[in-house]
Structure 1
Amino acid sequence: MTLPDDLLIDARALSALLRSDTPPTLLDVRWSLTGPPGRNAYQAGHLPGAVFIDLDASLTGPPGTRGRHPLPAPGALQDVLRAAGVSDSRSVVVYDVGDQWAAARTWWTLRWAGHPDVRVLDGGIAAWTAAGLDTTAGIPAPEPGDFTVRPGGLPVLDAAGAATTASGGVLIDARAPERYRGEVEPIDTAAGHIPGAVNVPTAGNTGPDGRFRPAADLRARFAEAGVTPSAGPVGAYCGSGVTGAHTVLALHLAGRQDAALYVGSWSEWITDETRPRATGTD
């Protein structure tokens, strides 16, 4: 299993690795919940050798009762990753615009799918350009990869598991506080949160430069929410499993590598009217 120190890579270290005899497969997964499409930004300029993968179209299943960004079908995911050059024996580095939301979800998806060596470019393409490194508009034609999807590499929660984690462990709601409290809901059809969940907004996982905070800071942050060595099971969710994956990555960096993701998240939870909903800070 990838160790916490190997979950992130900085821009200059990645630049050196790309010039080595064993460069990683590089995936550009820039994405925004409200657009514009990440492919447009990719075509305007990206890291040399990077292949674009669309999170909505290729890394998740179709939206519906399983949420807005459910797990993809293993076979379809395998086809996408192989077409992008992903192989079992070659490391992968993923990046986005710099908020690391889509990169974290891609990291999580590849690790769930069984790839053992996946890293996130800390700070994304913003950190790359800030370091004075070149981008290109050239579109690569990667050799097909041989990666075999083997689901189960990281733990997943369903709705029942999320409820159990909230009552017997620590279930983190990674959304903004006002969405957690149910004061506003700009995306989903109902407001509130899963009863028993605690709010630890994703935005606090990173500093002003968009890079993840040091592991000690993350441990302290999660400890305030009850994630201690003696805590029970730990899970995370958000609106649709994207920023929740960012929190799972932060938990890994903090040393909690058994943290599970409720992939369906709030957008799945509310599809069943019998599931309870809480508001405020309860």
Structure 2
Amino acid sequence: MDESVVVSPDWLAARLEDPQVRIVDVRDAWEYDGIGHVPGAVSVPFESYRDESDVDRGTLPGVDAFAELLTEAGVSPSDTVVAYDDMHGVFAARFVLTALEYGHDDVRLLDGDYSAWSREHETTSDEPAIEPTDYEADPLSRDESPLVGFDAVAEALERDAIFVDTRETHEFEEARLPGAVRFDWREVVDDETRRLKPEAELEELLADHGITRDREVVLYCNTARRISHTYVVLRALGYEDVAFYEGSLTEWMANDGEVVSGEVDD
């Protein structure tokens, strides 16, 4: 697993005193305050970097809003940022995707979540002293970004791309893109450890769904939250041809894109 994308609790524990490593807790503020957090972590709740008004694309918060958020969190563009939540990493993965899209070079997902961390490492209720920065975002260009829109998805349907739907079975059966395969984002997580399954097991699991390195992969769900986790996992495994449909099925259906429905063997 590529440590430039996903890091273990032990990796982070060894760097708690490193001033260049900034830890971001994306749980609700009451969890951060009331339950405790990783030492040195700053609170950046999920809703603070998600905007339903489509400021940029999909539910991205907008360049200025994200820069202000990281300024207040004391993050500099050169920092290594590690994000975590307590939901197997799905909300933290959305932070990772957002930071990457706005040009932060080094942002990583904590393997596991707060529950996994707290089993073996110290936690605290003390809030760190935060010195605001003057963060300037540098968004990826359309050519650099993995995010794709309606037209690009329509074109990919005409190619040999594999469309990966990370939603629940009932959602998938109600409406899905033509030819899509269902891959529940939680399949990559070990229920006991709350961490990602071993790399070999992940590769086999993906291959069983037809998700292989030689295929063009297009990810979608409803509003691009769940695919964030799958996207980060694929990047950590070294998959390169992965597109992220930010508008997902919400945008697709709003633009009268073709969908199919019906029960499937799951």
* TM-score (normalised: structure 2): 0.88
Question: Which residue in 2 is equivalent to 1:177?
Answer: 169
The alignment-based identity, stated in percent, is 28
1:195 to 162, 178, 190: 178
When residues 149 and 86 of structure 1 are mapped into structure 2, their CA distance, relative to the original with a 3 A threshold, is farther
2:7 match: 9
**Equivalents in 2 of 1:76, 1:66: separation in Å?**
11
Amino acid in the other structure paired with 2:168? A
Unaligned 5+ residue runs, structure 2? none
The equivalent residue for 1:264 is: 247
SS at 1:17 equivalent: coil
Give the corresponding residue for 2:23.
Answer: 26
Q: Answer yes or no: is 1:128 the counterpart of 2:128.
A: no
* Counterpart AA for 1:280: G
For the residues of structure 2 that align with 1:105 and 1:112, how far apart are their CA atoms? 11
1:66-77 aligned within 5 A: 70-77=59-66
Identify the residue that residue 217 of structure 1 maps to in structure 2.
Answer: 201
Does 2:36 match 1:41?
no
Number of equivalences: 259
Equivalent of residue 160 in structure 1, options 148, 151, 157: 151
Per the TM alignment, residue 161 of structure 1 is displaced from its structure 2 partner at its CA by 2.0
CA distance in 2, matches of 1:51, 1:98: 17
1:264 Cα deviation (Å)? 1.5
1:252, distance to aligned residue in structure 2 (A): 1.2
CA distance in 1, matches of 2:95, 2:139: 15
Using the TM superposition, give the Cα deviation of residue 125 of structure 1 relative to its aligned residue in structure 2, in angstroms. 0.9
The match for 1:238 is 221
| Offset of residue 139 of structure 1 | 5.6
Change (3 A) 1:150 1:47: same
Q: CA deviation at 1:148?
A: 2.5
User: What's the CA shift for 1:66?
Assistant: 8.9
Q: For 1:35-92, what per-residue CA distance to the aligned partner results, in whole angstroms no more than 9, with x for missing partners?
A: xxx1111111222221111222x3122346999x522221221111222122121110
- On the 8 A contact 2:77/2:136 being kept in 1, the answer is yes
The answer as to whether partners of 1:46 and 1:136 remain within 8 angstroms in 2 is yes
**SS across alignment from 2:137:** coil
Q: Contact 2:75–2:135 at 8 Å: present in 1 too?
A: yes
The 2-side partners of 1:210 and 1:242 are apart by 19
Q: Residue 28 of structure 1 contacts residue 96 of structure 1 at CA under 8 Å; is this kept in 2?
A: yes
Letter in 2 for 1:220: E
RMSD of aligned residue pairs (Cα, Å): 2.3
Q: Specify every segment of 5 or more residues in structure 1 that has no aligned partner in the other structure, as ranges.
A: 31-37, 183-191
Aligned to 2:50: 60
| Deviations 1:93-136 (CA, angstroms, capped at 9, x unpaired) | 10101410011111111112111111111111111210141222
CA separation in 1, counterparts of 2:20 and 2:225? 27
Q: Secondary structure at the match of 2:254?
A: coil
Counterpart-to-counterpart distance in 2, 1:221 and 1:262: 22
